Amino acid sequence: MSYKKISLRIGEMSCVNCSNAITKAVKKMDGVQEANVSFAASEGIFIYDETKTSQKDIEAKIEKIGYKILKQEDNIDDTKTVLLKVLLSIVLTIFLHFAHHLNLPHSLINIAVFIAASIVQFGCGGNFYIHSFKSLKNRTFDMNVLVALGTSAAYFYSAFVLILPNLFPENLRFIYFDSAAMIITFVLLGRYLEARAKVKAVDFMKELLSLTPKKATLFKNKKIKEVAVEELSIGDIIEIKSGQNIALDGVIVNGEGEIDASTINGESMLKFATINDKVIGGTILKFGYLHVRVEKLYQDTILFEIIKLLKEAGNKKMPIARLADKIASIFVPAVIAISLITFIVWIVIGDMQMAILSSISVLIISCPCALGLATPIAIVAGIGRGAKEGIFIKNPEILEIISKIKFAVFDKTGTLTKGDIKVSKSTIEDREMLSIFASLEAKSEHPISHAIRNFAKKAKAVENYDIQNINIKSGFGLTGTYKNKTAAIGTANLMNTLNIDMSEEVKQQYEEGLKYGKTTILASFDNKITGVFYLEDEIKKEAKNLIDYLKAKNIEPIMLTGDKKAPSYFLAKRIGIENIMSEVLPQEKFEKIKSLQKDGLVLFTGDGINDSLSIKQADIGIAMNSGSDIAKESGDIIIMNNELTNVKKSIELSNATLRVIKQNLFWAFIYNIIGIPLASGVLYFADITLTPAIAGGAMSISSITVVLNSLRLRVKKIR
């Protein structure tokens, strides 16, 4: 088997039931393994066996059931077209309601009423018939079928009464043109608001797409030239001036400046960047001037990956959403059956007028739009809101389970700490000694070497001492000679191999460092230890608050790290973690996650290649953007600004999104549970009935309520 994954932009979807109809139709095709169509994103993602079907076959199927395959450049915002139909429908509906009050000949009014009703029915509401016909042809049922049946019953009954009145008894000569028109008006108004909501929900994606400039200034052979971004190659040097967007991911080779990366990582503070610093395409150089060497083409940039992740996430469905879809798929046939039963019961009772009105009202009020909209709009709004905070939710399914977490497991380095080793203190104060050791460390690229050099630089030491016979001992340190005297810097084991003993004072200093969980490096010159360097990886300032938050939520925080026991336990104690496992290998982390899952759901947060197994295995995997590509690929959520605060925000946003979805589903179900019996006339004897027009209005209000409730997520404050 040869499976292929494709993404198609789909037009002319008027509501969420259209996306469900496409999904159902394509899934029936031989060779299609998966189909997910998003009304909110106007896009579908399909996985199929190339030996059994093709992209052309899938496109043909979609077009056959009444929808359009769009090109990348085609506009999907059809709100203006829908608005024009709504406005025309409103004007004609008002005319139909008051036509018989006009001082005009009765025959002329009848002609005008018939024409106006026909324009609304087949002009403004024409798409209901088109989609209903193609839906029924493919043996699928959607809301278009209900609207077409309900309004057609009212329209054609009225047309026969108007044209052939003698076929009907005096007491049954009723005209329902205004009711049919009002239903179409309300449904179209609901669809317009849905379309507007869809546009708002994907605004952030459009904002991201607009961040990458179409042109870039190429700096080559000391000349500048404006070129299309697509023409740039890896290694090209591009020029960026103040106020310009950085075109592609790269490294600064000249200049410095302050960069606004808020749209990418949610961080509002400007970040200073200079030579050798990496920059992200789509960020803005607020102040300064840069030459950037291109490291990634557009389709490989972080911005492109973010857009891709958002699109894929918007197309995925939570289990609760799939349940709603299943209910909606059997809902339409059930409603048609209820409508027929209602009609028959009232005929038996002997009230033809109630039979017509009630059966039509049942068809209209039970339109499953609210049920279908309950989850997708909320998911897209929630994902978009998270993206603005620098939280990219790749897998919406985790939204449903995040509130049930029992364990929150963290890697240490780069997750709970900044992953940036620095010298916090040294007992060496002599500037010449510091210069010797800095010059020796200048020959190594190890992170500890960089930390010692940076410390020496701040102490005004220099790195221009001529160190000879440099020998790097992996895992131990390095040695060299200066003026025929041996200089060494490294672990206690290195000093042992060089037969250099620690004095009582140095031993005390060394043990003090270990006691407080610091990595302690010894430095010697001329076979005598001259002092120690204390190194530490700074704890992220928000780590303690996050651990306190988790405990308040009855979630047990756990640390799993490959680091040594002393620094791991010291750090854990400072931030409040009691359950610690140190010096563990990647496979051991993975096994520990599996073991914890026997007792409850596990959230794991990490950043390294060694964390990727655990991130993938955990029920919810969170990856830091500063980490490896493998870790990010494995995660359900990516934290773009690497701040632990966003782990808390992820939980809060997920809970808020699930809350909104449950509220939406509650109102959708309650609305139908109450509305259908009322529409069928069960309370007729209590003088409580619903006309088709009122039913149409109520149906639209239910959809609008769900949409507005979902859009609250876009402005929700996440703390």
Q: Which of 115, 7, 118 is nearest to 58 (CA)?
A: 7
Considering only the C-alpha atoms of the chain, give the largest distance between any 2 of them, rounded to a whole number of Å.
Answer: 123
Q: How far apart are the first and last CA of the chain?
A: 48
Q: Which residues contact 255 (CB under 8 A, 6 or more apart)?
A: 274, 275, 288, 289, 290, 291
* H or E element at residue 208: helix 203-209
Measured at the alpha carbon of residue 192, what is the angle toward residues 699 and 44, in degrees to the nearest 5? 100
Beta bridge partners of residue 471, listed in sequence order: 479
The reply to whether 411 belongs to the active site is yes
Residue 161, judged by CB atoms within 10 A of its CB (0-12, 13-18, 19+), counts as middle
Cβ atoms of residues 386 and 392 within 8 Å: yes
Helices and strands in the chain: count of H runs, count of E runs: 25, 24
Q: Which residues contact 556 (CB under 8 A, 6 or more apart)?
A: 406, 407, 408, 550, 579
640 token code pair: 């773009």
- How far is CA 213 from each of CA 76, 210, 277, 710, rounded to the nearest angstrom? 22, 7, 21, 32
Contacts by 160-165, CB closer than 8 A, 24 or more apart: 162/110, 162/113, 162/114, 163/114
Cβ atoms of residues 559 and 505 within 8 Å: no
Measured at the alpha carbon of residue 206, what is the angle toward residues 662 and 20, in degrees to the nearest 5? 45
The alpha-helical segments, DSSP class H, found in 124-279 are 126-137, 143-163, 177-201, 203-209, 262-265
33 token code pair: 């393994």
Residue type, 535: L
* Cα(339)–Cα(358) distance, integer angstroms: 8
* Cα(631)–Cα(624) distance, integer angstroms: 8
- Which residue is it, tokens 């972080």? 302
Beta bridge partners of residue 24, listed in sequence order: none
Q: Which of 305, 266, 205, 302 is nearest to 388 (CA)?
A: 266
Residue 574, judged by CB atoms within 10 A of its CB (0-12, 13-18, 19+), counts as middle
Beta bridge partners of residue 532, listed in sequence order: 522
Q: Which of 411, 537, 607, 611 is catalytic?
A: 411
Cβ atoms of residues 416 and 571 within 8 Å: yes
Cβ atoms of residues 452 and 523 within 8 Å: no
* Edge-to-edge strands, sheet with 519-525: 417-426, 529-539, 519-525, 485-490, 477-482, 468-473
Which H, E and C letters describe 515-557, residue by residue? HCCCEEEEEEECCCEEEEEEEEEEECCCHHHHHHHHHHCCCEE
* Cα(118)–Cα(116) distance, integer angstroms: 5
Per DSSP, the three-state class of 341 is helix
Cβ atoms of residues 373 and 703 within 8 Å: yes
Residue type, 237: I
- How far is CA 426 from each of CA 431, 434, 510, rounded to the nearest angstrom? 12, 10, 11
Measured over the CA atoms of residue 130, residue 192, residue 142 and residue 41, the dihedral's sign is positive
Q: Among all residues, which ones are annotated catalytic?
A: 411
